[in-house]
Every structure is written in structure tokens, then in C-alpha cells.
Structure 1
Amino acid sequence: MGPTVQVDIVLVQHLLNFWDEQGIDVAPVLVSLGISDVSPLPPWVSADKLRSAQALVFAGRESTMLGFETGCYLAARHLPMGELISCAENLAQGLPAAIRFAHRTVGIATLEIKSIESGVELLPKALDGSELTVFEKQQTLAALTVLCRETLGAACSPADLNMTVDYELDTAAAEALLAIPVVRGEHASLSVSAAAWLQLNPNHQALVYSNTLRELQRKEQKLAEHLTLYSELQDIIEACLLRRHVAQEDVAGQLGISVRNLQRRLKALGTTYQMLLDESRQNLALKLIRDESSPLYEIAYMVGYAEPSAFYKAFRRWTGATPGDYRQAQSDALSNA
């Protein structure tokens, strides 16, 4: 886990359960997520890692409906974002409040709310500004559709919700699954009529809504505090690596705490000192390797490896490439930019 957008481990567990039910081999997915069968689960997983894991799942899949099916499954799990929307006064209250917690239900994606003549258009966007894949759009739109339909209740009509997709799709199959009209268009979105946007939620629970919102805000604050500490620990370990003093006592001393206190903090972060040391070595190596004047054996020594062969093995585990190949690829990318 690094100081980036983080996804609640509960969401990851639901995804793994669903994919396993679909007969998908989740072993390589666990490796991509950095989750071990013998280590305790971390409280969060990097959204980047989850995105890579999802790419493994969807690669080469014949079913173009898997993203929709995944989104529907997640929406039915009563995750925090879904709870917030389902007990709000209406969609106009619930959806804007829930957007900042979107990653808890749909991973890397968030939503842009855009006013249109007929009502409101909800467009899935990536949290990091990149382009969402087809399956990520499907997952986001499907989860959103289910949550909106549940909030509108029996009063929901075909005119209230309409989905647009920006790729080839069996729209009839999508309509059968989602129970709303689905058409092709320039961009993927879910349109909500003005009446549906403001329609009173028959299951509105003001107290549950405020408690859920407060709990989500509390968790986000706790995560922010943990990520700040995590980032600080990485910086300290990288500095210790360069000084060749990376024992836990050295790092704890930099923080002015005991080793036992350091271990308690690492446990709260869902990691161990060895895992953090390995990640810090990786981060430092990727920084140092950009300097082409630095020999690879020297970088190996600087990040804590007495033997270059051990460094090469670790680097391949980190990146899938040897240090030399990685450096050349980076150089070629800069030359072609």
C-alpha cells in the first residue's frame, strides 16, 4: 500500500468472491494485488493495484457483460456508498454526497454530475484523470443504475433512467440485465430525468443517512492520517537506505518512538517492516535508475543489496523487467516523447 488512492479491502474481498464464483482463476489476481495467503489482509489496497488486477480478470474475456454483472453484484453488497444513496432524501442529496466515496464501491472510478435539458447526466471518470476501460465504465454504470433504481423504488419508469455506452454492445442483453433503456452514443453515461432526480426516496432515513455519512468521513480522515504516516515512513527508510542503516531501531529513532510503537503503527497500516522496506527499496531503485550515469551495481548497493544478482531478481519481481531493460525502455520513452 502506498500513499495513493486506496480502496477498502471489503470491496476487494467482494470482487474476489464474485470472480471466483464466475470460475475465474483468482491466484494471479491475488499476486497482482500484493495479497498473500500467509499474511494478514491489509485494510486498504492501492486503486492502481486493483485496476491492474481487474485488467487481468477482463483480459481475453468472451463475455462483454462481465463488467455490468460485476457492478450489479457490488451494488447488491450494501457497501457504504450504496447505503448513503439508498437512505438519502433523494438522488439530488445522495449522489453528490457519495461521489467522494465512489472508490469504495467501484474502485478507480468516480462520477461527474452534469446538468442537461432533461435532467442530470452522470459520467464515469477515473480518479487519476486517465481513461477508464470499457469494463470499468460498465462496472461503474451498472452499480450506479442498481443504486438509483433502488432509491426511486416502484415509481421508477423507463423514462427516468437511460444509459448510453460508447462502444459496440449487445444493448438488448444490457437492457435485460439492467432493466433500463441502453443506447449507443459519444460517451458513456447514465441520464436521470429531472423528476427522478428530485423524487422523494420512499425509504429515506435521515438518521441512517447522517450516521453513514459521518462514518464515511471518519474513515476517510483515518485513511488520510495513515497515508501521511506511511509516506513519512517511506521517506525515512529511503534516507536510511542511503546511509546503510535500515534496522527498525534506526527508523524508530528517526520518528522518536520505540521499535514496539513502530510495529504497532505498521500493524495499523496493514503492513510489516519487511514489506515497507521492500517497497521503499523499489521506490528508491526506480528513482536512481533514471540517472543513466549511475552503474547498476552501484544502485544495487545503494538500495541495500550486497550482490547485484539479488537486486536483479528483486527488480524483475517489482517491474517484470531487468534493471537494464527497464532503464533502456525509460530512455526510449523519453527520446520518443
Structure 2
Amino acid sequence: MHRDPTTRASWALAIARALEASGYDPKSIFAEAGLDLSQATDPEMRYPVDKMTIVWQQAVEKTGNACFGLDVPQFTHPTTFNALGFALMASESLKEALERLVRFSRTVTDAADVRLEAERDSYKLTLESVSATRISAYESVDGFAATIIYILRQLCQEDIKPQEVTLIRPEPDGAKRFSEFFQAPVEFSAAENSIRFSKEQMEAKLPTANSELAQINDRAMTEYLSRFDKEDIVAQVRAILLDQLSAGTASQENVASSLNMSQRSLQRRLKEVETCYADVLDQIREDLACQYLKQSKIPLISITYLLGFSDPSNFNRAFKRWKGVSPSQYRKANTAAE
């Protein structure tokens, strides 16, 4: 049985601060939606998206500001998104930051599917509702898209300008504020919610890059997802593999045992979400390998065993399959600027 979508309560605090700055009592507005704002400081608390939609709609109605979503980003900071915020700050590039956002967006909300696609000379980030029968408030998409831009501008310490922004929402009153905020052409009543960026901007190295810090927060998010959604079998397997790989105990049998299920049941659960144990293992090894290689103090032989490979040649072959270069070549290219 699928749960109704939720959003992390810490995100609601930014909305509350924006309401307060506009001269309105956020507690009463949240209470009208059936939400206790005092619970928003609990790092594990999540609010139903249906009720948060009411909050957004009430915020627009009471403030008379159809562009209210654009006011929210200035009240966010890294802790708004918990470990995700710190992982984004520690990313090597804006592209890597957006890849993390895609991978861990469910730590913020499971109401939207976030995708990043490489095009010929650009990257396109798409935000899509996961349910055709549950449509979030337009303002929630405005706020999320604007916050992404706000965070990216902080990461690269310059005024990032997307190539284009498209929004499903109809054009609101005061629509000029959108083009002023995004500093890009904005298309309303579009077929999708998307932001397009130039490859040059996305691939430049960030001044705040810190692979070790990013890795720590990736692990925290993986563990959070495994607690948050017991039905997310991939998150469950990834969390267990993070513990078992470096101990040399990672195997499908041990993972299944840790989940209190048979190997056949594990195989079936993974097949239901169109993956398999080997693919999950391969992906987490690739992710960890890239993170370890960016930390020049970790010897290659140590990385081999941290990833659960029995022999350096096996690691070399796997890494060349993932990235098209050897581990040492990848390390040289990604630590040259340090």
C-alpha cells in the first residue's frame, strides 16, 4: 500500500518565516490546514503534502501575493534540508549537486519526481508530480524551483542564470518577478516544470567542494531514507551495503538476512522496482569509488578493499567500465586543482 506523499517539516519553517516577514501569523495559517507548526523543529517530522498545499494556497490568499513562492528561498539555509543541504555544499560541481538532489530528493518530499538530463550543450532539471490525481499547489513548485536556484547561486558564489525556465502553472499577476528572480526567460502554461542550465556552468569546480564531507552526508541521507520508507527496498539495501562493504561481508545472502527475508524475496522486491542486487551493488560501488578517489590521502589499495573487491585488478576493470578511465587517471583529473 502506497502512503500519501509527505514533505519534510523543516521546509515548512522557511514558508512560515516568509509568512511572518509578510506580517502574518504562520501558526494560525498552519493550524487552519490541520498542522502544528511547533512540530516542524523535529528533524524526523514530515507533513502530508495535501495539508501543505492548503498552507501554500492560504499564504497566497492572505498575502495577496501570487508570487509568494519566490519569497521563500531567502529564508532557507543548509539545515533546512538537513544532510542534503550540507552534501550539496560539499559537491564538486553544480552538476554533482543536482545529481545529489535527484538521488536524495525524497528526503525533502516524495511528492515529486526530480530528473536531470544531459542535452547537447545543456542540462535540464525536471520536476514532475508523482501522482496524476494529486497536484501540488503551483506556489510549492515555484518555491522549490526558486530555492534550487538560490542554493546554486550560494554554492558557486555568483549569480547563476539559467538558460530557460518552464512552468506548468498559468501566468500569475506580477509575472515579471519570475524573470527578474530567475534572470532567464520564463514560459508559463508549459508542458513541464523544468530549468535548463549551460554545461559550462554546471561542470565548473565549486569553491566549497569537499568529497569527504559529501560522503558523510550521503550516508546520513541513505540511512534516513531507509528509516523513512520501509517500502523503499533500494534504500534499505544501500544502507546495509554501506555497512557491509568495508567489513568485507557484503553479499546478497547477508543483505537478505539483515532484512529478515529470503534471497528469493529480496530478488522479487528488487525486480518489482526494475532493478536487481547486482545493479544496486554496482551503483553504490561506483558512487563510493568516485568519492574515495577525490580524497587523495586514501591509497588505491585501500579503496579496493573498502569497496569489497578482493583484488585491485577487479576494481580497475569495474572502474573503467563505469567511467572509461582507470582509477588513477580519474584521481589525477579530479585532484589536480586542489
Do the aligned partners of residues 63 and 9 (structure 1) sit closer, same or farther apart at CA in structure 2, a change above 3 Å counting? closer
**Residue 104 of structure 1: CA displacement?**
4.7
Indicate yes or no: 2:194 matched with 1:189.
yes
Decide whether aligned partners of structure 1 residues 120 and 126 sit closer, same or farther in structure 2, where only a CA change above 3 A counts: same
Q: How does 1:152-171 map to 2 (within 5 A)?
A: 152-154=156-158, 158=161, 161-166=163-168, 167-169=170-172, 170=174
Indicate yes or no: 2:66 matched with 1:47.
no
**Conserved 8 A contact 1:100-1:110:** no
When structure 1 is superposed on structure 2, of 195-204 and 72-81 the one drifting more is 72-81
Task: Please tell me whether the aligned partners of residues 106 and 140 of structure 1 are also in contact (alpha carbons under 8 angstroms).
Answer: no
Match for 2:139: what amino acid?
F
- Runs of 5+ unmatched residues, structure 1: 229-337
Paired with 2:160 and 2:17, the residues of 1 have a C-alpha distance of 32
Q: Counterpart of 1:32 in structure 2: which amino acid?
A: A
Determine which of 57, 66, 69 is the counterpart of 1:67: 69
Structure 2 counterpart of 1:210: 215
- Structure showing greater radius of gyration is 1
1:19 aligned counterpart, secondary structure: helix
Q: Which runs of 4+ in 1 moved over 6 A?
A: none
Number of aligned residue pairs: give it. 224
Structure 2 Cα separation of the partners of residues 107 and 66 of structure 1: 22
In structure 2, the residue matched to 1:124 is: 127
In the TM superposition, what is the alpha-carbon distance from 1:144 to its structure 2 partner?
Answer: 1.0
TM-score, structure 1 length as denominator? 0.56
1:18 aligns with 2:18: yes
CA distance in 2, matches of 1:117, 1:52: 40
Cα distance change, pair 51–118 in 1 and its aligned pair in 2 (3 A): same
Corresponding residue of 2:89: 86
Q: Of 99, 104, 112, which residue of structure 2 is paired with 1:101?
A: 104
Q: CA deviation at 1:197?
A: 2.1
Contact 1:87 1:209 (C-alpha < 8 Å) held by counterparts: yes
User: Are 2:153 and 2:160, in contact at CA under 8 Å, matched by a contact in 1?
Assistant: no
- Kindly state the Cα deviation for residue 191 of structure 1 after the two structures are TM-superposed: 0.8
The 1:109/1:215 distance shift into structure 2, 3 A limit, reads same
Match for 2:148 among 144, 147, 154? 144
Q: Percentage identity across aligned positions?
A: 10
TM-score, normalised with respect to structure 2: 0.56
Are the equivalent residues in 1 in contact too, given 2:67–2:175 (CA < 8 A)?
A: no
Q: CA, structure 1 residues 111+72, in 2 after alignment: closer, same or farther (shift >3 Å)?
A: farther
Structure 2 letter corresponding to 1:211: I
Amino acid in structure 2 at the alignment position of 1:221: S
CA distance in structure 2 between the partners assigned to 1:43 and 1:65 by the alignment: 27
State the AA in 2 paired with 1:70.
V
Report the CA distance between 1:214 and its aligned residue. Answer: 0.8
Alpha-carbon distance between aligned partners in 2 of 1:212 and 1:36, rounded to the nearest angstrom: 26
Structure 2 alignment gaps of length 5 or more? 234-338
Shift of 1:127: 3.5
Sort the Cα spacing of 1:70 and 1:223 in 2 relative to 1 into closer, same or farther, 3 A.
same
